[in-house]
Structure 1
Amino acid sequence: MDDQVLRSLMKWPNVPDCYGWLALDRRGQWRMRDEFTQLNNLPGQVIEHTALKEFIARNYACDAVGRYFFQNGPQRVHITLAATPWIVRILPSNKGLNFINQCHQNMDPAGALSDEKGNIYIAGNLNQIIYNSSDRKNGQFTERNSQTIALLHDHDLDQFSGLAKLHEEACSFGGSWVWQGKQLPLDPIHSEELASRFHYIAKPQP
């Protein structure tokens, strides 16, 4: 969290929250969604400005009830999630392959899930910024390594399938997969179970 953001919160703690105007899509892109976009259920305009994307990524956090938001100075901009709070890619590095999310963080996987639509989700630990109170004046941000869930980018599904051994289950697939020499579980899940199981709210409301 940027120092200037924290200072602005101390100076103006009662700025109203914003809902519906910013979204995270299934490919890890931030999208602006104006009133017309929201009323017509459109995806919104992809944010291309590099500095703005980096600012959002540095100040992306969640609260105690599972609402993810971008702390834009003193204003909290709640994020509409098309899938999960995190979207990951399988990307190479000097140490091999890594799962990297839309905020450029490395995710340490503990397992994977597959849903009824063929989506793959990576479950694991990640350093998250968490606002630990509903009281804006007395709450504070803390960084905590905690379990979360990330949708695997659809461009990496073929690469993941090369790591996995699958067997068909009711309306989904299960099995195991190998990551950095470790065999990890691949379990079925229904997409509607994700939010409650991993404690996030896809469409925050006032």
Structure 2
Amino acid sequence: MEDWVHRALERWPNVPALFGWLKLDRRGRWLIRGEPITRPQIIDTINRNYAADEHGRWYFQNGPQRGYVELEVAPLILWAAPDGAHLTTHTGVEIGDAQQVLLDEEGSLVLATEHGAAAFADNDLEWALAHLRNSDGADCSEDDLVTALAQPSGTGTALVLELADASVPVERLDREQIPQALGFAPAPQPLDDERAVVGGADDV
């Protein structure tokens, strides 16, 4: 978080949080009330002040007020760097490590990274496919992928994802189970004792 955010929190510590206003889509775009945010200055500010609380709810800390974010897929979206050698999140942070790789029923990959759960942008899936290997160490074929997708949810596959200097095993897990497995809330809700503004309706 930036210094101005900490100063604002100290000055106004009890501002109600916003729920139902902000969303992160599967391409790493910020949306407010369903409309994409396009101003670079606003996007940069959100990216620099984006974090998760102890309940796995991700939020943008806008000065003294938190705006909790609905997640279409995951709290971080992965983009392939222009050189194709590494991955960065939609917030501009480079990924250096993945502890777990999950494959859902639609073929999307979600990683447990050092920065949080991260999914490949739908227009960067080619990078992921190019870095998948089968049990023989060969490039993942269409048949290999079909076989992996046919595995029951919660079981391993014969695939690994090559990331940095590691080969991380790929596990099949249905999309609805991924948030709990990786510890994030896809649709944050206010707790009973929280002051909140929900979807534009004041619930303070």
Q: Same fold (TM over 0.5)?
A: yes
Please, which of 19, 44, 47 is the counterpart of residue 37 of structure 2? Answer: 47
Q: Map Cα deviations across residues 132-189 of structure 1 (whole Å, 9 max, x no partner).
A: xxxxxxxxxxxxxxxx321101112122212212531426783113233432212211
- Partners of 1:181 and 1:11 in 2: how far apart? 46
Look up the match of 1:170. Answer: 151
TM-score between the two structures when normalised by the length of structure 2: 0.79
- Partners of 2:85 and 2:113 in 1: how far apart? 16
Look up the match of 1:184. Answer: 168
- Partners of 2:127 and 2:185 in 1: how far apart? 29
- Partners of 2:164 and 2:54 in 1: how far apart? 33
Task: Please say if 1:62 is aligned against 2:52.
Answer: yes
Question: Are the counterparts in 1 of residues 131 and 162 from structure 2 also a CA contact under 8 Å?
Answer: yes
Identity of aligned residues (%): 34
Task: Please say if 1:101 is aligned against 2:89.
Answer: yes
- Partners of 2:161 and 2:179 in 1: how far apart? 23
- Partners of 1:202 and 1:179 in 2: how far apart? 25
Consecutive unaligned residues of structure 2, counting only runs of 5 or more, are: 135-143, 191-204
Aligned residues: 173
Look up the match of 2:188. Answer: 204
Please, which of 139, 156, 176 is the counterpart of residue 124 of structure 2? Answer: 156
Letter in 2 for 1:155: N
Task: Please say if 1:14 is aligned against 2:14.
Answer: yes
Question: Are the counterparts in 1 of residues 96 and 164 from structure 2 also a CA contact under 8 Å?
Answer: no
Question: Are the counterparts in 1 of residues 112 and 182 from structure 2 also a CA contact under 8 Å?
Answer: no
Consecutive unaligned residues of structure 1, counting only runs of 5 or more, are: 34-43, 127-147
Structure 1's 171 and 117: CA in aligned 2 closer, same or farther, altered over 3 A?
farther
Look up the match of 2:177. Answer: 193
Structure 1's 17 and 181: CA in aligned 2 closer, same or farther, altered over 3 A?
closer
Corresponding residue SS for 1:118: coil
Runs (4+) of structure 1 exceeding 4 A deviation are: none
Q: Map Cα deviations across residues 20-56 of structure 1 (whole Å, 9 max, x no partner).
A: 11110110000011xxxxxxxxxx1110000000000
Give me the CA root mean square deviation: 1.8
Question: Are the counterparts in 2 of residues 163 and 177 from structure 1 also a CA contact under 8 Å?
Answer: yes
